[in-house]
Amino acid sequence: MGSAGFLRVIGIGHRDRADDAVGRLLADRLRERAPPGVEVVDTDGEAARLLDLIAGVDHVVIVDAALSGAGPGTIRRFDAVARPLPRTAFAASTHAIGLADAIELARALDQLPAHCIVYAIEGSSFELGQPLSPAVATAIDETIALVLDEVRVTAV
Amino acid sequence: MARKTIKVDYLARVEGEGALTVVVRDGKVRETQLRIFEPPRFFEAFLRGRAYTEAPDITARICGICPVAYQMSSVNAMEDAFGVTVDGPLRELRRLIYCGEWIESHTLHIYMLHAPDFLGYEGAIDLARDHPDIVKRGLALKKTGNALMTLTGGREVHPINVRVGGFYKAPRKRDLVAMADEVKRARDMALETVRWTAGFDFPDGERDYEFVALTHPHEYPFNEGRIVSNKGLDISVRDYNDHFVESHVAHSHALHAHIRQRGAYLVGPLARFALSFEKLSPLAREVATEAGIAPVCRNPYQSIVVRAVEVLYSCDEALRIIENYEEPDRPFVPVEPRAAIGHGASEAPRGMLYHRYRLDDDGTILEAQIVPPTSQNQPSVEEDLKVLIDGWLDLPDDELRHRCEQTVRNYDPCISCATHFLDLRIDRG
């Protein structure tokens, strides 16, 4: 799983499912620009693996695609320590237990980091073999900037 | 009985997405329909025109829970086509990576998805609040499975180290030996898991299944064997399409598989256990006997115990491989492509996974066929529901719905290999 860092950015998604790939594509691009002390990982969103990535660091920033009815490319920020994620917003997971469950499992097991921020990028297509939709592709740069701000604030 | 339709938007704790409809008329279950969408169909098309060397990596992307199974069935098929035999330490390493996948996948299903059904919890989170130590045990056990997959596969989610003919890089003996203690601890946890699940209260539900699994003269099956059933089938993997047929049914995007002229059959833990019980490790046999499920278990609800026994066996088998491992001279057998048809099967955690490829003389894939275990088990799931649910129709809707969900979950249907959201409807007329 890579070495445990003080701060970890986790991109979640499925690379073959159109906008569902957004978390992982963001991680690919952020990896080159991440400041020292920040570990960037990407994963498929299965809860037990996610739990491993969430636990054991002080601060995590998670980026995932969402499907909530908002406009494609809409970026939303959630503080998962303050309250559970709205489950319906993360309906894109193809796993039996996904991101919202992984966070609640971490909370139940007392393994939730002190800071756990989730960025959700609204997708429009989750079809196998389809490309990223333009609005979501555009949202990647904006989200990277937001995540880097988040990281800088925390690092200070 | 009141005339009404019950609709549920989402069937929880099933990998992926799908839909289930139960049609009730005059107090009898008339029809059960499991509808799933199948990514393998997409991948079959995607594979056409690709090089044979790409098949392990492309098919591994079909499922995040059982990538190894897809890789192994694809390399088995390619090696069959090109007349390549992989043996010695490389063959052992393929068993080892499969041990990792069974431990990971089975443990996820046992602890996170299936156990809550028997203990009266909504899901793993509620279970974790009341019994954190049990859930932590499951997570630790699953992690050992991940570690075994990473050791041999290079990466745990989509192992990248597997290739036709063997591996890109073989692990060092010292790296394997370094894992032995962790696997021993995992074996202890697996033993506790068998005893824990054996104590659950199981609904009655014995069924006379036709069990189908790979069967090998000396081994509990992973990668090699003939396709055998308890009702007389005994064929080479190459003859799969002569004996099994996939057909479109109106209600599902998935193909349903049947044995020709016979009908539904069952693949997966119950089938392997029934057909190869005597090839389990002594400890796994002993514990299964103590759990009261040996040598044949026909109650699908007890599949959770059989999975736990297979996790225990996988730990034992991993330890055997680690202890006996000798580093191979080279990590793969050379492969010369030729125009041919290749067939491959292996035992995914959920059951037999069959691949067939037609290849050009330079190894280009002209045609691919992938039959995942979940679509093979679909007719059995529907029959289970039809037979078992008749006795429960007097239950309140909520409980009936829960029984239906639990019955589907018995199969650990890997609907991420197979489908989208599972939507459950009970139509009472």
Nearest to B42 among A48, A96, A128 (CB): A128
Q: Mutate which of B37, B112, B137 to test chain A, going by most A C-beta atoms within 10 A?
A: B112
Average pLDDT over all residues of chain B: 88
Considering only CB atoms, which chain A residues are within 8 Å of B39?
128
Give the dihedral sign, CA B122/B125/B131/B136.
Answer: positive
**What is residue A78's three-state secondary structure?**
strand
Nearest to B125 among A46, A101, A129 (CB): A101
- In the numeric block, the tokens 């010369």 are attached to B336
Instruction: Calculate the CA dihedral of residues A111, A117, A118, A119 and round it to 10 degrees.
Output: -160
Amino acid B415: pLDDT: 53
In a domain, B332, yes or no: yes
Q: Which parts of chain A register pLDDT below 70? A: 1-5, 87-97, 154-156
CATH of residue A63's domain is 3.40.50.1450
In a domain, A149, yes or no: yes
Amino acid A15: pLDDT: 85
Q: Tell me whether residues A96 and B136 touch, CB distance under 8 A.
A: no
Amino acid A16: pLDDT: 84
pLDDT band at B156 (very low <50, low <70, confident <90, very high): low
In a domain, A5, yes or no: no
User: Integer distance in angstroms from the first to the last C-alpha of chain A?
Assistant: 26
Amino acid B28: pLDDT: 81
**B332 versus A128: which is more confidently predicted?**
B332
Amino acid A66: pLDDT: 86
In a domain, B148, yes or no: yes
Amino acid B1: pLDDT: 37
Amino acid B137: pLDDT: 97
The whole-angstrom distance between B149's CA and the closest CA on chain A is 12
For B293-323, how does the pLDDT look when each residue is reduced to its tens digit (9 = 90+)?
Answer: 999 999 999 999 999 999 999 999 999 999 9
Considering only CB atoms, which chain B residues are within 8 Å of A101?
123-125
Rounded distance between C-alpha atoms, residue B230 and residue B280, angstroms: 18
Among the listed ranges A118-127, B24-33, B42-51, which one has the minimum average pLDDT value?
B24-33
How is residue A131 annotated by DSSP? P
pLDDT band at B13 (very low <50, low <70, confident <90, very high): very low
In a domain, B408, yes or no: no
In a domain, A4, yes or no: no
Considering only CB atoms, which chain A residues are within 8 Å of B108?
46, 48
Amino acid B158: pLDDT: 64
Q: Looking at this predicted complex, what is its ipTM?
A: 0.85
In a domain, A3, yes or no: no
For B251-289, how does the pLDDT look when each residue is reduced to its tens digit (9 = 90+)?
Answer: 665 667 889 878 899 999 999 999 999 999 999 999 999
Rounded distance between C-alpha atoms, residue B26 and residue A93, angstroms: 38
Report the candidate in A41, A88, A47 with the shortest Cα–Cα distance to residue A60.
Answer: A41
Tell whether A47 lies on the interface with B, counting CB pairs under 8 A. yes
Amino acid B427: pLDDT: 72
Q: Tell me whether residues A44 and B64 touch, CB distance under 8 A.
A: yes
**Number of folded domains in chain B?**
1
Rounded distance between C-alpha atoms, residue A47 and residue A91, angstroms: 14
Tell me the CA distances in angstroms from A86 to A55, A99, A101, B51, one per residue in order: 21, 11, 11, 43
Among the listed ranges B198-207, B246-255, B291-300, B410-419, which one has the minimum average pLDDT value?
B410-419
CATH of residue B327's domain is 1.10.645.10
Asked if B22 contacts B385 with a C-beta cutoff of 8 angstroms, the reply is yes
Question: Structure tokens of B29?
Answer: 């279950």
In a domain, A51, yes or no: yes
- In the numeric block, the tokens 């604030």 are attached to A153
Q: Mutate which of B46, B117, B125 to test chain A, going by most A C-beta atoms within 10 A?
A: B125
- Has residue B361 got a pLDDT over 90? yes
Residue A38 belongs to domain spanning: 11-155
Considering only CB atoms, which chain A residues are within 8 Å of B350?
none
Residue B161 belongs to domain spanning: 43-208+216-225+267-394
- Tell me the whole-structure pTM to 2 decimals: 0.90
Tell whether B300 lies on the interface with A, counting CB pairs under 8 A. no
- Has residue B16 got a pLDDT over 60? no
Amino acid B9: pLDDT: 33
Among the listed ranges A21-35, B169-183, B369-383, which one has the minimum average pLDDT value?
B369-383
The whole-angstrom distance between B225's CA and the closest CA on chain A is 31
For B69-109, how does the pLDDT look when each residue is reduced to its tens digit (9 = 90+)?
Answer: 999 999 999 999 999 999 999 999 999 999 999 999 999 99
CB-hemisphere CA count at 13 Å for B393?
Answer: 20
Q: Which residues contact A96 (CB under 8 A, 6 or more apart)?
A: A47, B12, B13, B14, B15, B16, B112, B113
Considering only CB atoms, which chain A residues are within 8 Å of B46?
129
DSSP B192-228: HHHHHHHTS-PPP------BEEEE-SSS--SS--EEE
Rounded distance between C-alpha atoms, residue B369 and residue B391, angstroms: 39
Tell whether B317 lies on the interface with A, counting CB pairs under 8 A. no
CB-hemisphere CA count at 13 Å for B338?
Answer: 10
The whole-angstrom distance between A24's CA and the closest CA on chain B is 13
Dihedral pair phi/psi, residue B405, rounded to 5°: -60, -45
**What is residue B145's three-state secondary structure?**
helix
Amino acid A154: pLDDT: 67
**Number of folded domains in chain A?**
1
Tell whether A108 lies on the interface with B, counting CB pairs under 8 A. yes
Rounded distance between C-alpha atoms, residue B59 and residue B140, angstroms: 28
The whole-angstrom distance between B15's CA and the closest CA on chain A is 4
In a domain, A55, yes or no: yes
Number of CB atoms found within 10 A of residue A75's CB? 17
Report the candidate in B159, B116, B34, B103 with the shortest Cα–Cα distance to residue B418.
Answer: B34
CA angle, residues B156, B158, B159, in degrees to nearest 5: 65
Amino acid B63: pLDDT: 77
**What is residue B245's three-state secondary structure?**
strand
Percent of chain B with pLDDT strictly greater than 70: 88
In a domain, A61, yes or no: yes
